[in-house]
Structure 1
Amino acid sequence: MPLAEDDLVGINEIADIAGVSRQAVANWRVRFADFPKPHTELKAGPVFRARQIKAWLRKRKVPMARVVSLINLKGGVAKTTTTVALAETLASRFGKRILVIDLDPQTNATTMLIGEKKWEKLNEKGWTLATLFKDALDPENKAFDLQKTLQKGVSDVQGAEKVDLLPSSLDLIDVQDKLASAPSGQFYSVTPIDLLRLAVKSLLDDYDLVLVDCPPNLGIITLNGLRISEGYIIPTVPDVLSTYGIPQIVKRVGNFSKEVGEEIAPLGIVITKYQEASTIHVNVSRDLRRRNDPPVFETVIRQANQIAAAAELQTSRRTLKQKYGYGDLATRYIDLAQELLDKLEIDA
């Protein structure tokens, strides 16, 4: 797959990203043996892969967004709840600026964060991500408005005011199947998997972390989420049906990663809805940890009625414990968030 023009950056662009001078970038190239090699040399100077440059800058502690997708081919595994709980925990307990991108046509993350009534109003006005993908089906149509679609301060959790949302829509169900035939940009510069990346690239670095709630499939909309991600998490109930598709996810994402020439790492499996009294849950969890492909997060989210009740947006703000339960549930999400920060080497 050919690189889009936006995937390449020159010395000036690198300086802008890092907030330094052009001379500083030139000095880095000389001083550091691990500085990325140019993708190609032009008369105007060398150009580099943007993802490689950003990864290198992150190692140098230059702040920029980290993007993680959450995916499972099986529904009902608490994928969306895990996404929202991580977002609210990372914001309220760790002070992180979080963007949730809801790509799942079921819109559950959206309604958890803004409520059904507000979602209906946004959907009527076309202020959802469905409009972005609809525009791709009709090049004459330019209805998507990023600023109007972006919903700020959406969580009902105290201290989680830094959670923003790009909402989903039921219309994505119809759009998904049509995207494969979407016309490419001039000179094939825009492919269907690049639509989200091109739309939100100016926005991402306003955040510490971006969490993408993907549909339960490996279609084009999911690939749009993975395209902007450096890694992915697989939430799963530890049973046969829920874990059956994990090898397929790892293989397909690995192939996609090679095709686009960017690393999309499996950050790990999160065991959800765990029941200690279930022999199946105990055995499957043990097998997942033994295989370690991908690795399994240490934190386990147990089955609890309070988690299901957390899906309903409240009119007044509540604490994490009020939302996710006064037992150890809120603590488990805090532990999971800390594990994620550790994996990404982000300071808490």
Structure 2
Amino acid sequence: MTRTLAIANQKGGVAKTTTTASVGAALAEKDVSVLVVDLDPQGSLTFSLGHDPDQLSKSVHDVLIGAEDIADVLLDTEDDVTLLPATIDLAGAEALLLMRPGREYALKRALAEVAQDYDVIIIDCPPSLGVLTLNGLTAADQVVVPLQCETLAHRGVGQLLRTVTEVQQITNPNLEMVGAVATLFDARTTHSRDVLADVTDRYSIPVLAPPIPRTVRFAEASASGSSVMHGRKNKGATAYRELADNLWESWNGADVRTYELEVS
């Protein structure tokens, strides 16, 4: 059975794209067949995986509005994951979809055509709670929230959780909130731990193990057109491999491991 995971947070700069690319690449290293979906009009995931959005003639935008079959838009990447790319055209998809009945189901219908070819589908949602994010949440089995370990980073998490609840009530009753992924984590400071404790207490969502440390390797990887899994061994790649293992094991029947459990 294909597992579909949405990576969502309406706040920008919280490592949604890095998490999508890195977890996807880590799973691919385990010989898991992975499709990653770029739902952000900025095309950051597309660029990070080696494709220039400005040079693409077809994208997820064309799939969502019914102008192209999804199979004709998919691209290969150096990380051995398949990519459904995004271009700036996607910014216009919101307005076009708003006029269509069943607009929240456009991505779910498209993915159903190729889902049998993949073990895991990971959706990189845009930094908003508009129609595109609703499409991502409606198409997903589970949602994970990347969260910066910095002051005020959790502003808006409550709104996202309310949106997830509404999606569960209306378009996707089977959607499951897995928890938060702590990003830009600095284990040397009490501040990072305090932010995670506040999120856990305030919103009652678990923080998945392990936290993802702050490292310049993420920026370097994005600029090179491949995930942080390529190149020299680094702590960021190690953490994302552990996170991918955690998710994969939970999909195969184990309990998902949480950060609080490991430090207790």
Q: Deviations over 1:272-318 (max 9, x none)?
A: 0112344432311222344572211020111111111110245xx89
Q: Does 1:147 align with 2:54?
A: no
* Bigger relative CO (Cα 8 Å, ≥ 6 apart): 2
Q: Does 1:333 align with 2:240?
A: yes
1:261 deviates by 5.2
Q: Is the 8 A contact 1:267 1:343 kept in 2?
A: no
For the aligned residue pairs, the C-alpha RMSD in angstroms reads 2.2
Aligned ranges 1:60-71 → 2 under 5 Å: 64-71=1-8
Q: Deviations over 1:122-152 (max 9, x none)?
A: 2xx2x1011234x3xxxxxx53132220113
1:70 deviates by 0.2
Partner of 2:131: 220
Q: Deviations over 1:46-90 (max 9, x none)?
A: xxxxxxxxxxxxxxxxxx210000011110111100100000000
Partner of 1:166: 84
Distance in 2 between residues matched to 1:247 and 1:342, nearest whole Å: 28
Distance in 2 between residues matched to 1:110 and 1:253, nearest whole Å: 25
SS at match of 1:268: strand
Q: Where in structure 1 do 4 or more consecutive aligned residues deviate above 6 Å?
A: none
SS at match of 2:31: coil
TM-score of the superposed pair, with normalisation by structure 1: 0.68
TM-score of the superposed pair, with normalisation by structure 2: 0.88
1:121 deviates by 2.8
Partner of 1:256: 167
Partner of 1:113: 49
Distance in 2 between residues matched to 1:183 and 1:245, nearest whole Å: 28
Q: Does 1:320 align with 2:229?
A: yes
Q: List gaps (5 residues or longer) in structure 1.
A: 1-63, 136-141, 185-190
- What fraction of aligned residue pairs are identical, expressed as a percent? 29
Aligned length: 254
Aligned ranges 1:69-148 → 2 under 5 Å: 69-92=6-29, 94-116=30-52, 119-122=53-56, 125=57, 127-133=58-64, 135=65, 143-148=67-72
Distance in 1 between residues matched to 2:172 and 2:24, nearest whole Å: 28
Counterparts in 2 of 1:258 and 1:149: CA distance versus 1, 3 Å: same
Distance in 1 between residues matched to 2:212 and 2:142, nearest whole Å: 21
Distance in 2 between residues matched to 1:251 and 1:237, nearest whole Å: 20
SS at match of 1:168: coil
Of 215-224 and 325-334, the range deviating more from structure 2: 325-334
Counterparts in 2 of 1:79 and 1:261: CA distance versus 1, 3 Å: closer
1:226 deviates by 1.0
Distance in 1 between residues matched to 2:10 and 2:121, nearest whole Å: 21
Of 75-84 and 325-334, the range deviating more from structure 2: 325-334
Q: Is the 8 A contact 1:214 1:222 kept in 2?
A: yes
Q: Is the 8 A contact 1:77 1:237 kept in 2?
A: yes
Q: Is the 8 A contact 2:49 2:227 kept in 1?
A: no
Counterparts in 2 of 1:170 and 1:220: CA distance versus 1, 3 Å: same
> Which residue type is aligned with residue 236 of structure 2?
L
Distance in 2 between residues matched to 1:219 and 1:318, nearest whole Å: 27
Q: List gaps (5 residues or longer) in structure 2.
A: 255-264
Q: Deviations over 1:203-242 (max 9, x none)?
A: 0121110000001111111111111111100001022432
1:258 deviates by 1.1
User: Which protein is bigger by CA-based radius of gyration?
Assistant: 1
Distance in 1 between residues matched to 2:106 and 2:33, nearest whole Å: 23
SS at match of 2:137: helix
> Which residue type is aligned with residue 245 of structure 1?
G
